[in-house]
Amino acid sequence: METYDYIIVGAGSAGCVLARRLSDDQGVKVLLLEAGPTADKFWVRTPAGMAKLFFHEQLNWNYFTEPMPLLHDRRMYWPRGKGLGGSSAINGMVYIRGHRQDFDTWRDLGNPGWGYEDVLPCFKRMEHNERGGDAYRGVDGPLWISDPVVRHPASADFIDAAVRLGIPRSEDLNGELHDGVGFIQHNIRKGKRQSAYTAYVAPVRGRPNLTVRTGAFVQRIVFDGLTATGIEVEENGQRRIIHAAREVVVSAGALNSPQILMLSGIGPGEELQRHGIRQIVQSPGVGQNLQDHFYVHTSYRATRASSYNHEISGLRKYWQGLRYLLTGTGYLALGSSQVAAFVKSRPEEVYADLQISFRPMSFTYYGNGVVEVDPIPSVAASVYRLRPAGSGTVTLRSADPRQAPAFQPNFLAHPDDVRAVISGIRHIRRILASEPVASRVLGEHMPGPQVASDDEILQYLRAHGNSAHHPAGTCKMGQDAMAVVDERLRVRGIDRLRVVDASIMPHVTSGNTNAPTMMIAEKGADMIRKDAVAARVPAAQGAR
**The predicted structure's pLDDT at residue 372:** 82
Tens digit of pLDDT for each residue in 404-455?
Answer: 999 999 999 999 999 999 999 999 999 999 999 999 999 999 999 999 999 9
Does residue 396 surpass a pLDDT of 60?
yes
**The predicted structure's pLDDT at residue 537:** 79
**The predicted structure's pLDDT at residue 367:** 59
User: Which has the closest alpha carbon to 394: 291, 274, 474, 505?
Assistant: 474
User: What is the CB neighbour count within 10 angstroms for residue 489?
Assistant: 25
Active site residue 470: yes
**The predicted structure's pLDDT at residue 55:** 87
Pairing of strands 227-235, 238-250: antiparallel
Does residue 43 surpass a pLDDT of 80?
yes
The pLDDT-based confidence of 538 (bands split at 50, 70, 90) is: low
Tens digit of pLDDT for each residue in 120-165?
Answer: 999 999 999 999 999 999 999 999 999 999 999 999 999 999 999 9
Among 178, 243, 445, 470, the one annotated catalytic: 470
Give the CA count within 13 Å in the CB-facing half-sphere of 136: 16
Cα(first)–Cα(last) distance of the chain, in Å? 16
* d(C-alpha 464, C-alpha 314), whole Å: 27
Q: Which residues of 65-99 are buried (b: 16+ CB within 10 A; e: fewer)?
A: bbebebbeebebbbbbbbbbbbbbbbbbbbbbbbb
| Contacts of residue 195, Cβ cutoff 8 Å, sequence gap at least 6 | 16, 39, 44, 84, 85, 86, 88, 89, 187
Can you tell me whether residue 514 is helix, strand or coil?
A: helix
Does residue 265 surpass a pLDDT of 50?
yes
Percent of the chain with pLDDT over 90: 92
What is the set of domains in the chain, with CATH numbers? 1-100+193-291+393-411+470-544 (3.50.50.60), 150-183+294-385+414-464 (3.30.410.40)
Tens digit of pLDDT for each residue in 67-115?
Answer: 999 999 999 999 999 999 999 999 999 999 999 999 999 999 999 999 9
| Contacts of residue 462, Cβ cutoff 8 Å, sequence gap at least 6 | 70, 71, 72, 412
Tens digit of pLDDT for each residue in 173-228?
Answer: 999 999 999 999 999 999 999 999 999 999 999 999 999 999 999 999 999 999 99
**The predicted structure's pLDDT at residue 542:** 45
Q: Rounded mean pLDDT of the chain?
A: 95
* d(C-alpha 68, C-alpha 66), whole Å: 6
Mind giving me the DSSP string for 288-330?
Answer: -SBB--EEEEEEEEE-GGG--GGGGSTTHHHHHHHHHHHHS-S
Tens digit of pLDDT for each residue in 286-303?
Answer: 999 999 999 999 999 999
**The predicted structure's pLDDT at residue 239:** 96
**The predicted structure's pLDDT at residue 365:** 73
Q: Average of pLDDT values for 20-36?
A: 98
Three-state DSSP string of 345-381: CCCCCCCCCEEEEEECCCEEECCCCCEEECCCCEEEE
Task: Look at phi and psi of residue 172 and say left if phi exceeds 0, alpha if psi is from -120 to 50, else beta.
Answer: beta
User: Which has the closest alpha carbon to 499: 210, 236, 250?
Assistant: 250
User: What is the CB neighbour count within 10 angstroms for residue 452?
Assistant: 11
Tens digit of pLDDT for each residue in 366-388?
Answer: 655 567 889 999 999 999 999 99
The pLDDT-based confidence of 51 (bands split at 50, 70, 90) is: confident
Mind giving me the DSSP string for 375-410?
Answer: SS-EEEEEEEESS-S--BEEE-S-S-TTSPPEEE--
Does residue 541 surpass a pLDDT of 50?
no
**Distance (Å) of CA 31 to CA 194, 238, 330:** 22, 18, 39
Tens digit of pLDDT for each residue in 474-490?
Answer: 999 999 999 999 999 99
Does residue 395 surpass a pLDDT of 70?
yes
Q: Are 19 and 210 in contact (CB under 8 A)?
A: yes
